[in-house]
Chains A and B, each alone.
Chain A
Amino acid sequence: MTALNKNPLLEQFLSEARELLEGVGQKLMQLEDAPSDQDLINELFRMVHTLKGNSGLFTFPEMTRVLHVGEDLLGKVRNGEMVFSRELADRLLDAMDFVSLLSNEIEATECIDASRAADSARLAESLRALLPEVSVSSGTAGSTPSSSKSIADTFTQLPLAEIP
């Protein structure tokens, strides 16, 4: 979907994005004082998840890419696979600053400048480096460890005996 002049959906997206970015900033600061507060972590995850989902309705891959890794990181924290640290909070704040910058750009020009693609890739990479080892080795976002296997390989590994 491309951004049209005065597209009400785009206006709604920008308004909700602003609200969510503000919320994410607040929750990140609150979490620094209470890093194990599960409700806060759940809420924070949900906000980044919503923001990512909303951005996916448009063609803003530079924004979606960064939010996707942010969501992955918070998902790990939520599931207890990663500890919420000061470093993580700082990196996520950097990511949200970038998303905020992109939002302002979209508001002004209704698109994202081509030069942002490299910044987005770099930022996503630096965020991904914070993920626990197992996830880092799985490669680029969107690919799965099984994606390189052939269908025949997968078929022989199906736990058919377990199907009732």
Chain B
Amino acid sequence: MMDGLKVKENVTAKRILIVDDAATVRMYHRGILESAGYAVEEAMNGIEALEKSLEAPFDLYVVDVNMPKLNGYGFLSELRQQENPQQPAIMVSTEAASGDEIAAYRAGANSYLIKPVQPMQLLTHTRLMLGEAPQ
């Protein structure tokens, strides 16, 4: 009975991919998103994120900027060329400079947040991006 319920929950939960090279940040963002019932997966860099997302597209991407191998801009640019339809992405940066925000949107981000992100801030942007009512 319980197992049946759990499976159903997992099937219906929106899938979110957290892309960040910092394990601590991934755990922090995961905790926030899972507490709201989302199904979360992680990638450590843009290459890994691209592989996972092309295998099975996610409903939302939460993407760091500065990462080894392929950074956040590179990942989003590449993803936007390959995915169909396009899924929303929140770019999470430590840079407060306006140039970085513009670069994020140019690369394909739909939203831009500055670290450290407050839990309600991440959840509100997540719901907005997924077309859900804010709570």
Contact = CB atoms under 8 A, between A and B. Distances in A.
* Central interface residue in A9, A13, A46, A50, by most chain B CB within 10 Å: A50
A12 interface: yes
Contacts, number: 38
B115 A13 contact: no
B27 A12 contact: yes
Interface string A123-145: 00000000000000000000000
Contacts of A101: none
A16 interface: yes
Contact of B24 (A13, A43, A46, A49): A13
Interface of B: 21-25, 27-28, 31, 66-68, 94, 115-116
A119 B66 CA distance: 29
Nearest to B92: A53
Contacts of B67: 46
A57 B25 contact: yes
A57 B28 contact: yes
Contacts of B28: 9, 57
